[in-house]
Homo-oligomer: A and B are copies of this chain.
Amino acid sequence: MLKRVVVVTGIPGTGKTTVCNVAVKLAEQTGKKINVVNYGSIMVEISQKRDKSLHRDALRKSGLAFQRNLQARAARIISKKAVAVNGDLIVDTHMSIKTASGYWAGLPFHVLQLLNPDMFVLVEAEPHEILSRRHKDKSRKRDKVLEDEIMEEILFSRLMAAACAVLTGASIKMVDNPTGKQAEAAREVLKLLV
């Protein structure tokens, strides 16, 4: 049985987690088992466990070193999971993370070496749809500046995905997820796992 690691990414508002969950359900309907793990949730779990037994040494480390360590631990847990489960494993995570201090790679090289992914999926959507999903409750206007910012986020995800593809040899598939078409998007992901 093939045990591929498929990394599914998307900026906030693209609906990547929904696509992942719909893909699992659709696969089940055809008697196929697909597993999903959320990278961020694993990091939170580790972080909480660590809080109880936090060493002073860890505290002295810079923020980046701490983050790297946490990312690496999560990657090791996920790669063990990939071996343990029956069937393919979808890793629900981010390719690029926009913060006040800039763009961060969700999958830096040291993580890629541990995860050993077979393919990358970039769930994408139109900027105006992403904005509307991010600000569901607010009737805010969607201006050009905000849409340009979203386009920049999408661009950086693609840029980092290209670097990930060169580093690992894994493929990059962009999957469009327009409103109301989650099932179609999920089926596109499943087609990669035939």
Contacts and interface: CB of A to CB of B under 8 A. Distances in A.
Interface of A: 2, 4, 62, 64, 67-68, 71, 96, 99-105, 107-110, 112, 118-121, 155-156, 158-160, 162-174, 191-192
A103 B165 contact: yes
Given A162-B159, A162-B162, A171 B103 contact: yes
B104 A165 contact: yes
Q: Dominant SS at the A interface?
A: mixed
A105 B104 CA distance: 20
Nearest to A103: B172
Given A62-B118, A119-B102, A192-B101, A162 B156 contact: yes
Nearest to A111: B169
A109 B160 contact: no
B163 A64 contact: no
B110 A169 contact: yes
A194 to B, nearest CB: 9
A62 B82 CA distance: 15
Contacts of A104: 165, 169, 171
Contacts of A167: 108-109, 163, 166-167
Given A101-B171, A103-B172, A169-B108, A118 B162 contact: no
A169 to B, nearest CB: 4
A72 to B, nearest CB: 10
Contacts of A120: 102
24 contacts: A2-B62, A62-B118, A64-B118, A64-B169, A71-B169, A101-B173, A103-B171, A103-B172, A104-B169, A105-B162, A105-B166, A107-B166, A108-B167, A109-B168, A156-B158, A158-B159, A159-B159, A159-B162, A159-B163, A160-B162, A160-B166, A163-B165, A163-B167, A167-B167
